Amino acid sequence: MVKFHNVTLQWFIMIPIDMAFGEIHKTNSFGDVLIIKYLTSFNVEIEFINTSSRTVTTAAMIRKGSVRDKFSPAVCGFGYVGVGNYKPRVNGRDSNAYIVWHDMIVRCYSQNKLLKSPTYKGCTVCDEWRNFQSFAKWFSVNYIKGYQIDKDMIVSGNKVYSPATCLFISRAENMAIARARYYVVKSPAGEIVEVFNMRKFCIKNNLNPSYMASVCKGNKKSYKGWTRSGKT
């Protein structure tokens, strides 16, 4: 507002009709957005209807449908990039943190991947790590160059990727764990038991690993009352 002597001139922001509060626009990939506040054509606050997340963008981006919802679960319908200091791409390439995060989610939630790697069936990622920003913060503290993320070393047979159960191990260590094949057997009492390391399982239960392996492969019907389970 500007005053000249006894005359007051009031300046008004001319808001385009399609940028008024409550107007809805479509985006190319993230559903509809709601106009919340228009300050200038370069400063428009919007809300993504699907996720209720808000951001500030330009009128031109809104009209093109090019605005991106960083809270949309774009990775296997589960993971989202979020807002924070960690960038999924650096110098035009996916960051190390994003590659590990993306592959971890794909292993657990991609049906095509599970068909090729059924040992990951039933594995999940904790809710905290749905947000790439949370995972990347953990990654920045724990990552060892050349090492691989592992969920089994701390807790044998664990199926949840989380800060409490994961660490980075060498490729040799990871291969050793992978060789400890996963089996599902039935005890003499009829209990279904998941076995993630047959050698350790047999030592604990006073069993012969070779005989148990034959049972699991279907070459032997039973051993000391143990049988192969139909569960996979």
pLDDT in tens, 62-104: 999 999 999 999 999 999 999 999 999 999 999 999 999 999 9
What pLDDT does residue 138 have?
Answer: 97
Report percent pLDDT > 90 for the chain. Answer: 69
Say yes or no to pLDDT of 6 above 60: no
* Rounded mean pLDDT, 54-59: 97
Report percent pLDDT > 70 for the chain. Answer: 91
Question: In which band, very low, low, confident or very high, does the pLDDT at 109 lie, cut at 50, 70 and 90?
Answer: very high
Better-scored residue on pLDDT, 117 or 189:
189
Say yes or no to pLDDT of 8 above 70: no
* Rounded mean pLDDT, 196-221: 86
Whether the predicted model's global pTM rises above the 0.95 cut: no
Say yes or no to pLDDT of 146 above 90: yes
CA angle (182 as vertex; 179, 184 as ends), nearest 5: 155
3-state SS class at 5: coil
Q: Which residues pair with 131 in a beta bridge?
A: 80
* Rounded mean pLDDT, 131-143: 97
The helix (run of H) or strand (run of E) holding residue 215 is: helix 209-217
Q: How far is CA 73 from CA 82, 87, 111, 157, in A?
A: 9, 16, 16, 28
Cβ-count burial of 166 within 10 angstroms (0-12 exposed, 13-18 middle, 19+ buried)?
A: buried
**Least confident piece of the model among 38-47, 109-118, 161-170:** 109-118
Q: Which residues pair with 9 in a beta bridge?
A: 2
